[in-house]
Structure 1
């Protein structure tokens, strides 16, 4: 191989390396705004969890997007939708007499419904949550909250007695937003549109939710 050919190859390789570096640099600059738009409130929660380290948070969110961005939700049959709606209504009604049990059932119901829609099954909670955060970023915090409260109650530690009825009520109301998204075939798109309403009200309510969570539980003193 002649010296001229070697030099030409070196120049080509150097040019390719430079182009790749510029491409990656450009992606890094665009990652922040893109991830902010994609994840909304979940972006800020992730940054806070990383103690303000934006780069670490964006790496985590980018990894979630890489793993779960191509997931396609399986549509629910009308009978399935009705069955899950009836079960959620029963959870809400049970809350009045047994708030902790109702919250635990809501946690299980969300895990099951997400699995039916095509997300990782509920036995892999962290992975399921990560996938949901990619497609339902506006409302995934409700699932996180109800799961945390339900798990605390199941463990029976000091936190279980400390979780009052109001905390349980708030967790269940927040979780309802994700349930509505999952039960609705177009929930992924509706979640972004209704984010402002959810933020303004603190929760979303429909005809089935109004009133029941505002009743005083017999256990509440």
Structure 2
């Protein structure tokens, strides 16, 4: 085998190895994004032309999230928020529409105190998706119902569902899961998929 042939063989081997390494790195990066964003990964993929574009969007969200000063709530603040939620549950029977509106405000107050910046709804979703990707659909559902309620187009059952949806994200915001290592799996949805107040009993149904 001539030296020239050996050189070309070596180049080919190096190229194959580099391609294999690149493939492994890409697969690991993709798996990490899937773990972190959960259903939001597929949702973003469905809204973009290519997988690469979707994954760049998710990495951009991660970088933006890293610049935020997200902090845990103090024990006193968590206790206060839970007391306020309990009060909302108690008033739901008499005023379901206004209670859902107050629940929305309470969730946003918890977000602000945790350090999430104020912004439009889509930007809020983008920020939340980095650590709440597995439960973010609950917040979307709640806001959709809240919007219908503002137009008097939501039934009492719809409003009850909105409260249950809000509660899932609310409980996560009161926890410290946001501060977990970005490469670890997200926590499972909060145990509040079913509320503890008699007026709100019932299985959460997806629509």
TM-score for the superposition, normalised by structure 2: 0.71
Larger deviation: 66-75 or 100-109?
66-75
Structure 1 position 172 matched with structure 2 position 163: yes
CA distance in structure 1 between the aligned counterparts of 2:68 and 2:106, rounded to whole angstroms: 21
Residue deviations 1:3-60, cap 9 Å, x none?
xxxxxxxxxxxxxxx9xx9798765444322211111122223234x17853443232
Alignment partner of 1:192: what SS?
A: coil
Larger deviation: 110-119 or 90-99?
90-99
Larger deviation: 31-40 or 63-72?
63-72
Structure 2 equivalent of residue 32 of structure 1: 30
Structure 1 position 116 matched with structure 2 position 118: no
CA distance in structure 1 between the aligned counterparts of 2:179 and 2:145, rounded to whole angstroms: 25
CA distance in structure 2 between the aligned counterparts of 1:165 and 1:60, rounded to whole angstroms: 38
Gaps of at least 5 residues in structure 1 are 1-17, 216-221
Residues 82-97 of structure 1 mapped to structure 2, 5 A cutoff: 82-97=79-94
User: How large is the RMSD of aligned CA atoms in angstroms?
Assistant: 3.2
Gaps of at least 5 residues in structure 2 are 1-14, 203-207
**What is the deviation of 1:104?**
1.4
Residues 103-142 of structure 1 mapped to structure 2, 5 A cutoff: 103-121=100-118, 123-142=119-138
CA distance in structure 2 between the aligned counterparts of 1:80 and 1:102, rounded to whole angstroms: 21
Residues 59-208 of structure 1 mapped to structure 2, 5 A cutoff: 59-69=56-66, 71-121=68-118, 123-154=119-150, 156=151, 160-161=152-153, 163-186=154-177, 192-195=186-189, 204-205=193-194
CA distance in structure 2 between the aligned counterparts of 1:24 and 1:119, rounded to whole angstroms: 35
Equivalences, count: 181
- Larger relative CO (CA 8 A, sep 6+): 1 or 2? 2
Q: 1:184 to 1:35 in 2, by over 3 A?
A: same
**Moved segments of 4+, more than 6 Å:** 21-26
**What is the deviation of 1:127?**
2.0
Residues 8-27 of structure 1 mapped to structure 2, 5 A cutoff: none
**What is the deviation of 1:100?**
2.0
8 Å contact 1:146–1:175 — kept in the other structure? yes
Q: 1:53 to 1:98 in 2, by over 3 A?
A: farther
8 Å contact 2:48–2:54 — kept in the other structure? no
